[in-house]
Chains A and B, each alone.
Chain A
Amino acid sequence: MRTRMMAAFLVTLLATGIAAATPTEPRRGGSAVVAIGSDPETLNLGITTGYAVGAVAASIFSGLVWIDARGEIQPGLATSWTISPDGLSYAFELRRGVRWHDGRAFSAQDVKFTMEQVTGLYHGRFRPAFQNFEAITVTSPQSLKITLKRPYAPLMRLLSVFDCPILPRHVYQGEDITRHSRNNDPVGTGPFKFREWVRGDRLVLERNDAYWDPVYLDRLIFRIIPGAALRVTALEVGEVDQVADFYLPKTDVDRLKRNPNVRLRLGQPIPSMGFMFINARRAPLDNPKVRRALAMAINRVQIVTQAMGNLARPARGPFGDGFKWAFSPESDYDRLYPYNVERANALLDEAGLPRGAGGERPVRLRMVYDAARAPIAAAAAIIRDNLRAVGITVDLQPMDRAVMIERIYTRPDYELTVQTFTSGGDPAIGYHRIYASAASGVPFVNATGHSNQEVDSLLNRAAEVPDRAARGKIYAQVSQILAAEMPTLMLFDEIGVDATRATLRGVWIGAEARDRWDAVWVQK
């Protein structure tokens, strides 16, 4: 009797265990809580690239397209598009029957208005692309055509909700867009409607039943938790359901990996890289031989394992390997510049910088970096130690971010610096600025003073050719020059980590953890 009961008990236990483990059908109802680090500065995603704004407003607004987890472009407010062979004209068919949260009908006029009056003027990433627009022509209430002055290969990537969220013309037309009252009470076409905002505490969105795809969650709640460690603890105890890469302290990742209630997504659908600018304006760094010696003296594997906690890959070339089609094996750092102290020493001797009596070379370099970023500080300490091994003295100069920007970009006064840039989904969007000639004064572009007209023209072409294979060839060409001249040493390709409670299902169908919350549902 007793064993029978025991067996029955075990079977039930097993059965429930299996039921819990197999994904069931998406279920309507419930809510999800997402941790963000600060109050968004506005909810008008068309005028800012702020991360917290995107986290909340990406569920309120929609873009013409969205980017899926494999990095491919998928239809959003635009259901189809055709690009002319010369790459100058883009024709879009828009989704029919879409309504704004206030009940008015969405039309092509909203798209034209948004691009011309909002994102084209105020959005940090869309504005530069918009300057290349020749015209936006509304061809019918549900279709429009964009013509460009010059071809621009990554244009489609800049039509996602994060770069060009479509705003309602009937709300904003003729008014001051940046200070509009509806910026804090927005009207969108997205899967969730704005409900309430308790500053410093939470934002609450509720389901938009009129959305074109099914939306499962009743409510989507954003909790504002400024402390990084507190965000992780909140996730561990189940107070929040998701923490995106941007808000997740990487030192806690190992612990989260062992937590059965938490699932992680490792990898970066949108590549981003860490690198070291080498100020070529200052001797002896104006000598490419010295820069190549630095490339072999610095242990990129050590930086990846110790500074980045293995959440990165050692950089393989001038554009990393995040975009497989833009990676060129001929310019592979692993082959050209493996970590090799003897060869670095030999190159430095050759460059006329012999070691002195104490074993030190007559080179003293200032490494300037943002003091607030612990992984960067650790990378700087490793580089300092690596270079000491080849007789180069490095002075670490951590500083406040604003001062750092001044010292690197506004009025360059440094020898080395470690920076990280995001690709924005295409090397032409985010990586060209690392190498293209730039006048000093502009933040977050090439700060090395190195300039090569051939590189500039190759980069321009790579941005214009629409075909990936053809672009790949151009990147191979430019990579070869960049690997030889070494104006900037790429250090690592970042690996992002998003974390979620295992009870949330349907997560991360988009490249961005902030995107596509309509597909998310709660498992009981």
Chain B
Amino acid sequence: MVGDESAETPSAAGGREFWRRFRRSRAGVFGLCLVVLLVVVALAAPLLAPRDPQTTSLVTLNPPGTPGHPLGTDNLGRDILSGVLWGSRVSLTVGVCAAATAVLLGVFIGSFAGFYGGWADAVLGRITELFQVIPRFVLALLVVALFGSGLWKLIAVIGILSWPQAARVVRGQVMALRGAAYVDAARVLGLRNVRIIFSEILPNVLAPVVVIGSLDVAGAILLEASLGFFGLGDPNLVSWGMMLNNAQAHLRQAWWMSVFPGLAISLAVLGFNLMGDGLNDATDPRLGV
């Protein structure tokens, strides 16, 4: 080890190594680009959108290319392009926050189940399975129908219904690491269990969690859009799913009402999925250097 390499901190070297691996996956890089695009659009929506997405007008059901409405207008004369741009905010907020909720819950539950094993594992394992068996979408429909819709309710519902996958992966990893020599060493040093889990074990489980988090974002975006499609999105915000819901009745007259929000959902979900796959490949040591 010579030269400036040695001057770098180990984590920076790891980051650079990781980026080198990630870059090799073209699909992953493409996904990352889509995600970056989505984030930029969401942040800059007020600047990019030609008009307020909820302002109605008497210019009803105009096709794409109408002056002032590049992607056309909907049945209430609202601008489709502005709707698609502003809709990215809802999708991204719900996607990221719900995935974060799911991952946090999953990490907590999975690590306790994996570390303590025995009764804790059995009980938490059954709960995890229970949540996996329940059809996520049907339960989400039920909850939103009963308690009404709203951005934060959607995030909570989707997050709470999406944690089992993260929990299972974390549990497996923690179980594998629980008998590792350095964990035994920590124990001998008298560290408390909670401390061992959080500062010794979890940092080593981070990679798969990040991958699952990315895939969870895609799943959450899709679930939010599906709820919106069934008319159960937040009615006071513009979202792609709600745009699709509104487009249903006009499918035969105004294809643009459904195609553009549909395309936006597809690209966003594709982006997070491809990025997740790329991350997975980049963090999987078995795939070689």
Per-residue CB contact flags for chain B residues 190-217 toward chain A (1 = under 8 Å, else 0) read: 0000000000000000000000000000
CB–CB A302/B58 < 8 A: yes
For residue B149, which residues in chain A have a CB less than 8 angstroms away from its CB? 398
CB–CB A381/B250 < 8 A: no
- B56 CB contact (under 8 Å) in A251, A302, A371, A395: A302
Residue of A nearest to B145 (CB): A400
For residue B231, which residues in chain A have a CB less than 8 angstroms away from its CB? 371-372, 377, 398
CB–CB B56/A305 < 8 A: no
CB–CB A305/B58 < 8 A: yes
Known: A306-B76, A306-B77, A381-B76. A397 touches B56 (CB 8 A): no
For residue B253, which residues in chain A have a CB less than 8 angstroms away from its CB? 251, 254
For residue B250, which residues in chain A have a CB less than 8 angstroms away from its CB? 251
* Chain A nearest Cβ from B134, distance in angstroms: 21
* Chain A nearest Cβ from B229, distance in angstroms: 13
CB–CB A397/B60 < 8 A: no
Q: Does B54 contact A (CB under 8 A)?
A: yes
Question: Which residues between 342 and 389 of chain A lie within 8 Å of chain B, taking CB atoms?
Answer: 371-372, 374, 377-378, 381-382, 384-386, 388
For residue A302, which residues in chain B have a CB less than 8 angstroms away from its CB? 56, 58
Q: Does A442 contact B (CB under 8 A)?
A: no
Question: Which residues between 86 and 143 of chain B lie within 8 Å of chain A, taking CB atoms?
Answer: none
Per-residue CB contact flags for chain B residues 55-73 toward chain A (1 = under 8 Å, else 0) read: 1101010000000000000
For residue A395, which residues in chain B have a CB less than 8 angstroms away from its CB? 236
Known: A254-B253, A378-B75, A382-B76. A396 touches B235 (CB 8 A): yes
Per-residue CB contact flags for chain B residues 234-271 toward chain A (1 = under 8 Å, else 0) read: 01100000000000011011000000000000000000
Q: Would you mind naming 29 contact pairs between A and B with Cβ atoms under 8 Å apart?
A: A249-B249, A251-B249, A251-B253, A255-B252, A302-B58, A306-B58, A306-B76, A307-B76, A371-B231, A372-B231, A374-B249, A377-B235, A378-B76, A381-B54, A381-B235, A382-B56, A384-B54, A385-B54, A385-B55, A385-B56, A388-B54, A395-B236, A396-B235, A396-B236, A397-B148, A397-B235, A398-B149, A399-B148, A400-B146
* Chain A nearest Cβ from B152, distance in angstroms: 14
For residue A382, which residues in chain B have a CB less than 8 angstroms away from its CB? 56, 76
User: Complex: how many Å from CA A255 to CA B253?
Assistant: 9
- The prevalent SS among residues of A at the interface is helix
- B235 CB contact (under 8 Å) in A305, A307, A372, A398: A398
Residue of B nearest to A386 (CB): B56
Tally of A interface residues using CB under 8 Å: 25
> Top 6 nearest A-B pairs by Cβ distance?
A396-B235, A251-B249, A385-B56, A306-B76, A398-B235, A396-B236
CB–CB B235/A306 < 8 A: no
* Chain B nearest Cβ from A414, distance in angstroms: 13
CB–CB B60/A305 < 8 A: yes
Question: Which residues between 266 and 325 of chain A lie within 8 Å of chain B, taking CB atoms?
Answer: 302, 305-307
User: Complex: how many Å from CA A84 to CA B58?
Assistant: 54
For residue B232, which residues in chain A have a CB less than 8 angstroms away from its CB? 371
User: Complex: how many Å from CA A302 to CA B58?
Assistant: 7
* Chain A nearest Cβ from B245, distance in angstroms: 9
Q: Which of B54, B76, B148, B250 lies at the interface centre, i.e. has the most chain A CB atoms within 10 A of its CB?
A: B76
User: Complex: how many Å from CA A131 to CA B253?
Assistant: 51
* Chain A nearest Cβ from B279, distance in angstroms: 38
User: Complex: how many Å from CA A397 to CA B150?
Assistant: 9
Residue of A nearest to B249 (CB): A251
For residue B76, which residues in chain A have a CB less than 8 angstroms away from its CB? 306-307, 378, 381-382, 385
For residue A396, which residues in chain B have a CB less than 8 angstroms away from its CB? 235-236
For residue B252, which residues in chain A have a CB less than 8 angstroms away from its CB? 255
CB–CB B60/A306 < 8 A: yes
For residue A381, which residues in chain B have a CB less than 8 angstroms away from its CB? 54, 56, 76, 235
For residue B56, which residues in chain A have a CB less than 8 angstroms away from its CB? 302, 306, 381-382, 385-386
For residue B58, which residues in chain A have a CB less than 8 angstroms away from its CB? 302, 305-306
* Chain B nearest Cβ from A505, distance in angstroms: 29
